[in-house]
Structure 1
Amino acid sequence: MGEKGKKILVGVDEGEESGYALSWCLQNLLSHSNSEDTLILLFAKTPLPIYSAIDSTAGYLFSQSIVATMDTYANQVADAVMQKASTLCSTFNHQAKVETMVEHGDPRDVICQVAERLKVDLLVLGSHGYGLIKRAFLGSVSQHCAQQVKCPVLIVKKPTN
């Protein structure tokens, strides 16, 4: 990994799976980290399904007040996710520097683009554990990223208890 420490990118969202993946990363990958290591927490804010009046057949058309309310809510979700992830990081005794990022776009694309742009050494993602049918309809962010990024990808699946 890099001479100036490892750069580890962790995708976080509202789900328990990403929290578990972050916790696993902190316990197993950063338990003996040095001050040169950087942990980057990334939240991808999905764009709202809003379209202009010119092409209203392709999506939904909302008033400005509804759009503002939806955007405020999306920002609150992003803030809450990042606060929870940062708090989790502070409970572990590690030396790594923690950075947070909120980017806009499809999570699959955002994660791949950020991993490439920052030239991370490792990408850590949680897995929802969807079966074949759900994965076919919903898509798998972790599977897409594992196939697209150039760095190693660690997919952490939360045990079923």
Structure 2
Amino acid sequence: MASESSNGRMIVVAVDQSEESLHALTWCLRNVVGKSNGDDENTKDTLVLLYAQPPRTVYPSIDGTGYLFSSDVTVSMDRYAKEMADGVTARARAVCSNNPRVKVETRIEVGDPRDVICEVVEKLGADMLVMGSHGYGLIKRTFLGSVSNHCAQKAKCPVLIVKRPKQ
């Protein structure tokens, strides 16, 4: 595996504000983290919580001389995006806080989640990518695309897609 050493594995978990993402993280902590470290209690897996923040959409004005939103509005949009990213990563960190078998890092990257996740996994040399599945049907998946399907095809490491059980 790419980064396996005395420090354990590097596992990237894609997180967002969905319950499916939180379920995948919880499942990973219960079933993957620390499971192959043998008897060495000093070896910890590194869990990278990755939040892919969609880029802010820029709307040019109709006459082409400026932007549709004032600078105050764009500052507010950026502040909201940062608060969302911080909230998602804080929530994910809280889920990991009681697990002594893992070292937790967070990353917030801006861009199309499909591309960002695959790029970060490759750049870090991750041993595994874990992500949730929203469980969209064929129609929604056709129009919205499937981030997990894209990553399963393009990521340079094994991808574990965790489906949330139906309630």
TM-score of the superposed pair, with normalisation by structure 1: 0.91
Q: SS where residue 78 of structure 1 aligns?
A: helix
Aligned length: 157
- Cα deviation digits, residues 98-144 of structure 1 (max 9, x gap): 00000010100000000000010000000000011100000100000
Q: Is the 8 A contact 2:34 2:45 kept in 1?
A: no
1:25 corresponds, among 28, 40, 49, to: 28
1:86 maps to 2:85: no
Equivalent in 3, 6, 23 of residue 5 of structure 2: 3
The letter for the 1-side match of 2:94 is T
- Tell me the distance in 1 between the aligned counterparts of 2:112 and 2:45: 27
**Distance across 2 between alignment mates of 1:111 and 1:54:** 34
**C-alpha deviation, 1:90, in angstroms:** 0.6
Which residue, 67, 70, 88 being the options, matches 1:63?
A: 70
| Residues 1:154 and 2:160 aligned together | yes
Q: Is 1:20–1:158's contact at 8 Å kept on the other side of the alignment?
A: yes
Cα displacement string for residues 68-123 of structure 1 (whole angstroms, at most 9, x for unaligned residues): 001100000000001000000013x3322100000010100000000000010000
Larger Cα-atom Rg? 2
1:51 Cα deviation after fit: 3.9
Letter paired with 1:26: L
Gaps of 5+ in 2: none
What percentage of aligned pairs have identical amino acids? 56
Matches of 1:128 and 1:25 in 2, distance apart?
16
**Structure 1 unpaired stretches of 5+:** none
Q: Tell me the amino acid that sits aligned with residue 42 of structure 1.
A: L
Q: 1:21 to 1:152 in 2, by over 3 A?
A: same
Q: CA deviation at 1:160?
A: 0.7
Are residues 1:45 and 2:47 paired? Answer: no
* Cα distance between partner residues in 1 of 2:45 and 2:135: 29
Mapped to 2, the partners of 1:139 and 1:128 lie a distance apart of: 11
TM superposition outliers: structure 1 runs of 4+ over 2 Å: 31-36, 51-56
Query: What secondary structure is seen at the aligned counterpart in 2 of 1:44?
Result: strand
Which structure has more helix as a fraction of its residues? 1
